Amino acid sequence: MDDLLSKIAGGYNYIAYITIMMIGLYAVIAKRNLVKKIIGMSIFQTAIILFYISIGAKKGATIPILMHDHGPEAAEHAIKAADYINPLPHVLMLTAIVVAVATLGVALSLAVKVYQRYGTLEEPEIQDQINKS
């Protein structure tokens, strides 16, 4: 029992990310309002970004900026890649944040156009109007 509790306590951030992700997924699947679905999609994307940022962290590591001298003295200092944090997940997540903001903006602008055309953002009402035409 203590082993299970220590595993849960060590992975609390993953439990939080999965909870946030499931809240977003629930909103996308269960809600009928388009704006609520869009917000759910944004929550889902945010949970994934937080997850990738957390797995990119390394305890006891430093940023990958070399502060050693150049020249013959630099050969004496061996570079150990295990001592540095990999910046690639963080850089990719910066790109993902930009894509998420752009996706949110396009989705909200489409929701405005849908509202202007059909006068509602509720899916069943929009489907009824489409079927009548």
Cβ of 97: how many Cβ atoms within 10 Å?
14
pLDDT of residue 56: 80
pLDDT of residue 66: 66
Q: Which CATH class is domain 2-55+85-132?
A: mainly alpha
pLDDT of residue 133: 79
Task: Say if residues 52 and 86 touch (Cβ distance below 8 Å).
Answer: no
Task: Please give the Cα distance from 115 to 33 (Å, whole number).
Answer: 11
Per-residue pLDDT tens for 66-106?
A: 665 666 665 556 677 777 888 888 899 999 999 999 999 99
- Mapping DSSP onto H, E and C, the string for the chain reads CHHHHHHHHHCHHHHHHHHHHHHHHHHHHHCCEHHHHHHHHHHHHHHHHHHHHHHCCCCCCECCCCCCCCCHHHHHCCCCHHHECCCHHHHHHHHHHHHHHHHHHHHHHHHHHHHHHHCCCEHHHHHHHHHHC
Q: 79 or 28: which carries more pLDDT confidence?
A: 28
Give the tokens for residue 98.
């930009």
pLDDT of residue 100: 96
Per-residue pLDDT tens for 30-60?
A: 999 999 999 999 999 999 999 998 888 778 8
Selection from 129, 127, 128, 124 nearest residue 32 by Cα: 124
pLDDT of residue 8: 67
pLDDT of residue 122: 96
